[in-house]
Structure 1
């Protein structure tokens, strides 16, 4: 599109106030009167490009951003695996129930509510991101408070004098067998006889119930589960039978195709030199 450009500067004049500006078709006439000349001003024409100019060489490298920053706000509910914060470097550190990803992102390891906080007792200058298990909890948790474990359970001290623990052996100081036959050595621990009946669950060190290893290993024997014994055969004889079977199949295939008339091959045409 060609647009006219007025080269002569427009001078402000009080005479312009005595004239009323006309519509767009008479704008040039009003400018001529203001400049004190009736001759049409010189016009120049500007030609714009018909095609878009070539872009810069490095323009292809500019892509979308890395989408860094907070993905979950404080107080928002998360589940294990949810990414809370993406970053480059260690501006934020994982706190309670959180861990680092390999790209320094902070993600949740437990279900709960996001908390952004500082822990002066742990590190005075670091910023932490944690997950509180309850909505009303504040992080960091008190140092001497009972820790909430997975499944939202709290560790409670077991009373060995209660009804469920009567007659159960409790090993408090288990040591590696030293050959002396002490009460707490492994050699002095009763192993049991495979022919005996299973003793059931026995409380071990701490408060974990489990069956003895020998008891677990004899479960199939007590259930009379019979397994067919593996007998390795003669591999050389098996290979000879396989070769004989393959040769017999080849002979059968030849006999089947003997009765069929095969088409005569076409004579080859000699090339013209």
Structure 2
């Protein structure tokens, strides 16, 4: 396509070179044929501008209709060993509930709270339809455990029934015996009247407890109420005098620095 367009200018250049008596250089001939921009009404030459995009075009991140999967489901199989904090099951909703030695996060993730083996089971006594995930300390243990059975806890310990101390029944004349035993133990406790109260505790009244120093004959300095207004005024005057001294002292220091 370019050859037919170049032929007329080349022919004109060759004929002009042959006709001229003076042998001119080819550069002058081709310079005469140079295309010059046409003059415009506004300026000497018309300028052409090209506009480029100022911002890069952004493409869609997910071109598909659905986003990436959330990787839900079981992360640990049955009888697999786990440690505290291991995620056992990820879910949306409560398809599985936490059982023994397990807990549930705010996104319904079930994780282990103790080291052991994972167990998937159902507990009809607790709920007829719910499914539970638990952790046992031994692989051979079966969940759910029978109600009120001995269970292993942390540090390989088992729960035992606590021994309840026998209930003390108040007997007539017992306060007198207690008074004789307490009498003479400490200074100032003479003449105490112990009465049985709630929880079978022998305790005297609060106003009698406050008289312990009086019964022990301990001398305490009496409080002498004074003029608090005069004390406050005196304190305020002392603080103002100290403040004036500090101001005078700082002014003297500044004056010495200027002299130097």
TM-score, normalising length: structure 2: 0.45
Q: In proportion to residue count, which structure has more helix?
A: 2
TM-score, normalising length: structure 1: 0.43
Q: Which of the two has higher C-alpha Rg?
A: 2
